[in-house]
Structure 1
Amino acid sequence: MTPDSLARSGNFRWFWAGQGVSQFGAQFTELALPVVAITLLGANEWEMGLLVAASTAAFLVLGLPSGAWVDRMRKRRVMIAADLARMLLLAAVPVLALTGVLELWHLIAVAAAVGVATLFFDVSYQSYIPLLVEDRQVGEANSKLEATAQVANIAGPGIAGGLLSLITAPAVLLFTAGTYLASALSLGRVRDTEAPPDRAARQPLLREIAEGVAFVWHQPLLRRITGTTSITNLFSGIAFTLLPLLVLRDLGLGPAVLGVMFSFGAVGGLLGALLTPRFTKLFGEGAALSISSIAFGVAMVPLPLSLFAPQLAIVLLPAGNFLIAFFVVVYNITQVTLRQRLCPPRLLGRMNASIRFVVWGVLPLGSLLGGWLGVAAGMQASLWISVAGTVLGAAPVVLSPLTRMRELPRPDHTPESGAAVARDG
């Protein structure tokens, strides 16, 4: 361990531990909510589209102002409030189920409200990182935190799938509520030097939003990244909305198999996090973005293939999930590091919110499109459309200067980019 290793920082360790626990629990939610909707409430393709769309609608509705609001607040406090809100919301589902009044609209409402809390947490989370570590440690911290999240996610889905076979899905959500409480308590132990934003420097909200949008729009590399990420999110959202129905209804494989699929994905994600430094060194940072964006779409081919060969689905689906997660993590670590390098610290919240408004704002549209296509065109055609669109979505990055860059640009905003304390990743 080097003398300046992030693992030596108490603040970083508290942050690291809290995020590992909450990432573990988030996998329970990802499995339990669809299982409740399909097996307990009999949801169809369109209703699943509504449920999944509700979980990401906040990024479309509140994505832009959230960045300006976060830049006006202390980011650690925003994250603590978001964790506590998610804890209370998810704990409400088993209470409603226990009293016999749970309906699909309750799930949709909870998913939407959790999405709002997640939006504010995520914008604060990514904007907090450069405040907690030095610029040269940002890539290391992103890799450490991503690797830890994937380690937690490896066991999470498998255990969740097993539990869903033994106990009711609403009860499983109680565990997730507890992980968000643990995350909030861990964040409470972090000590940072983040100062309250200067009120005198505050501009009208619309002007601050416009400043963040303008920064992204006028930075050509960020514009390319945003284009590829948004297109691939739109089309992959079709497949991921229909995936629980594919596994649980069309293939009849059960919650345990769905959990195993997610666990294989987590293994792929872990390897992606661990091997990203070697991957970028071998191919170059810019080329790594292009390769991973194309490979992500190709890795989705096993999803529609499983309908051609149901007897092989138990192999095709976990293998596909493994490769999807591997290349998504390589792409995300590399492009998030680029964003953090290029953006001045005072604009981090608005930059992240502006990009997320686009790249996450298309997710509810993709979910609704997936629900509609599933009814209108059928499961198989919908999945092939998803694969084709995701592969083509790599074009903005592939056909850009990024592909030829061995090393991504370094920041040109050195004043105010020093470390504050611990970082999040």
Structure 2
Amino acid sequence: MEKTVKPPRRSVFADEQFRTLYFADATSKLGTYVGLVALPVLAQTVLDAGAAQVGLLTALNTLPFLLIGLPVGAWMDRRHKRGILIAADLGRAALAASIPVAWLLGLLTMTQLYAVTFLSGALTVFFDIGHLSYLPHVVGRSRLTSANASLSGLEEVASVSGQGIGGYVVQLIGPAFAALVDAVSFAWSAFLVSRIKVKEPDLRPAARRPMWRDAVSGLQYVLADPVLRPLAFKGAAANLVGQIFLVSFLVLIVSDLKLSAGTLGVVLAAGGVGAFFGSLAAPTIGRRLGVGRSIWIVGMCTSPFALLIAFMDRGPLLWVGAAGWVVAAVVFGLENVLGVSIRQTITPDEMLGRMNAGFRFIFMGALSGGAALGGLIGSYAGVRSAIWIGSVIFALSWLIIYFSPLRHGRRIDEFVK
């Protein structure tokens, strides 16, 4: 009997539309992470901001997801996505460009930094929800895991290079002018997205319900689903801890240890290194251990290394803590790839925007809460106390997946209803 030879699997990068979307993401994310370093350093070095103000500044970037995330998801399900992505990018470019202009004129204030951060976060709500809902139309559901692995890897590369480069850019040209890198990246991303030519499905006005009901339905859908709910809670725990670490690192390294912005960039980038390797390994680990089992097994093995972060100090201990952060963050990248692929595969097309908005609402709520919590604990009990609390939460977070239906899941199609 003649054996059938399967044709080689076509790489997702062979698709020109995906490549364009990928490079749009690459430029946008690189600039975003440069801005992530630039604005808090600008607030501390030029405007004398303290831990609580840095925490508030960081929280304002994600607060819009709590305020408008759910209605934006419902609204997005009623609209084509590409034009919204372009408009969001252009708006963020203009906001970022206003910072060096105000600084040159001697008009820069914390109020402006708060406003720019909040409004940029609001536009990011539209971009992120639209992007997640647009991707299945660009690549098709059969290639979502491969596409998400590539985009998650990009996220972590941008995190590593953006924050690492960002520290040195801030050191070289100053934090105000570093914001221009962010502005240029958003403008270039808008141009690339404008070149994507993918036909989106026709809208179905007959299926529309009142906007408020659709807005709430996305969150209800996520919380009611036995597979999506633990993914949401696990991601929320990771985001809460990640923001506690971010705020604590910004204050510990710049204000307490009096180290350079370049050193800050390296420490912030350390987590991205681990997450990058986690995203690269995710498809292989998912196939061998199973998509659900991989998340808790890898988390159980790597998350406890977060406890080393609390020992950061001048000298070798700084790098011991950074190494612990590298290992602990591996599960971030793996969970990003496998968790997002599960979500996008098991959710119907007409529910994608609302489902993604529900997740973003939960995730960004955790980000805002983590930034505010990190600032408050840092102000009243010290940044090391904040890091210890975050490390313990992170070390135990894999238990959320262990005690869920995902515990034994091997293939995504097992979760499709």
SS at match of 1:300: helix
Q: Which of these residues, 2, 10, 29, is aligned with residue 35 of structure 2?
A: 29
Q: Deviations over 1:146-177 (max 9, x none)?
A: 22343344433332222222211010110111
Residue 312 in 1 paired to residue 316 in 2? yes
1:143 maps to 2:110: no
2:343 to 339, 349, 370: 339
Amino acid at match of 1:137: R
- The answer for the alignment partner of 2:407 in structure 1 is 403
State how far apart, in whole Å, the 2-side matches of 1:226 and 1:169 are: 35
Q: 1:386 aligns with which of 384, 390, 399?
A: 390
Cα separation, 2, equivalents of 1:189 and 1:50:
37
Establish whether residue 17 from structure 1 lines up as the match of residue 23 from structure 2. yes
The structure 2 residue matched to 1:93, chosen from 83, 90, 99, is 99
Distance 1:292 1:110 in 2: 38
Deviation at 1:412, TM superposition (A): 4.4
Query: Does 2:290 align with 1:271?
Result: no
Greater RCO, 1 or 2 (C-alpha within 8 Å, sep 6+): 1
* 1:286-330 deviations in Å (ceiling 9; x for gaps): 1111134445642322321114xx322441243133224322011
Query: Could you give the per-residue CA deviations for residues 74-97 of structure 1, whole angstroms, max 9, x where no partner exists?
Result: 111111111111100111111111
Change (3 A) 1:148 1:368: closer
Is 1:343–1:411's contact at 8 Å kept on the other side of the alignment? no
Counterpart Cα distance in 2 of 1:243 and 1:158: 14
User: Could you tell me which amino acid in structure 1 is paired with residue 75 of structure 2?
Assistant: W
CA change 1:289–1:98 in 2 (3 A) is same
Counterpart AA for 2:259: L
Q: 2:303, 2:331 within 8 Å by CA — same for their partners in 1?
A: no
CA offsets 1:342-365 (integer angstroms, 9 cap, x no match): 100110000010121112112212
Query: 1:217–1:267: structure 2 CA closer, same or farther, 3 Å change rule?
Result: closer
Structure-2 change in CA distance of 1:2 and 1:156 (3 Å): farther
Once residues 60 and 243 of structure 2 are traced to their aligned partners in structure 1, the CA distance between those partners, rounded to angstroms, is 13
Find the aligned partners of 1:263 and 1:87 in 2 and give their Cα distance.
23
Q: Which portions of structure 1, spanning 4 or more consecutive aligned residues, are displaced by more than 6 angstroms?
A: none
Name the stretch that deviates more: 122-131 or 225-234. Answer: 225-234
* In 1, Cα distance between equivalents of 2:162 and 2:239: 24
Contact 2:293 2:407 in 1 (8 A): yes
Equivalent runs, 1:35-50 vs 2, <5 Å: 35-50=41-56
- Determine which of 296, 312, 329 is the counterpart of 2:333: 329
Q: Measure how far apart 1:340 and its partner are.
A: 0.7
Question: Partner residue of 2:112?
Answer: 106
* 8 Å CA contact retained: 2:273, 2:326: yes
What percentage of aligned pairs have identical amino acids? 32
Give 1:2 shift: 4.6
1:120 alignment partner AA: F
Partner of 1:247: 253
Q: Structure 2: how far apart are the matches of 1:231 and 1:151?
A: 22
Deviations 1:333-389 (A, max 9, x none): 111111011100110000010121112112212211111111221122221111122
State the match for 1:188 in structure 2.
194
Cα distance in 1 for partners of 2:246, 2:180 equals 24
Aligned 8 A contact 1:46 1:371 in 2: yes
Paired with 1:232 and 1:18, the residues of 2 have a C-alpha distance of 26
Contact 2:61 2:120 in 1 (8 A): yes
Alpha carbons of structure 1 residues 22 and 51: separation in structure 2 relative to 1, 3 Å: same
2: CA distance, partners of 1:158 / 1:396:
32
TM-score norm. by structure 2 comes to 0.93
Q: Distance in 1 between matches of 2:327 and 2:28?
A: 24
Cα distance in 2, alignment partners of residues 12 and 411 from structure 1: 26
SS for the counterpart of 1:4 is coil
| Consecutive unaligned residues in structure 2, runs of 5 or more | 1-6
Could you tell me how far apart the structure 2 residues matched to 1:364 and 1:111 are?
12
Q: How much does 1:131 deviate? A: 1.3
Question: 2:246 is matched by which residue type in structure 1?
Answer: F
Match of 1:75 in 2: 81
- Aligned partner letter, 1:199: P
Q: Which moved more, 1:389-398 or 1:131-140?
A: 389-398
Number of equivalent positions: 411
Is the partner of 1:20 in helix, strand or coil?
helix
Query: Please, which of 190, 215, 218 is the counterpart of residue 221 of structure 2?
Result: 215
1:291 equivalent in alignment to 2:300: no
Length-normalised TM-score, structure 1 = 0.91
> Secondary structure of 1:113's match?
helix
Q: Distance in 2 between matches of 1:27 and 1:44?
A: 21
User: Within the alignment, does 1:281 sit opposite 2:294 as a pair?
Assistant: no
Residue identity matched to 1:407? R
Q: Deviations over 1:12-44 (max 9, x none)?
A: 121111111111111111110111011111111
Using the alignment, how far apart are the partners of 1:254 and 1:187 within structure 2?
36
- Aligned-partner SS, 2:227: helix
Task: Specify the alignment match of 1:423 in structure 2.
Answer: none
| Secondary structure of 1:409's aligned partner | helix
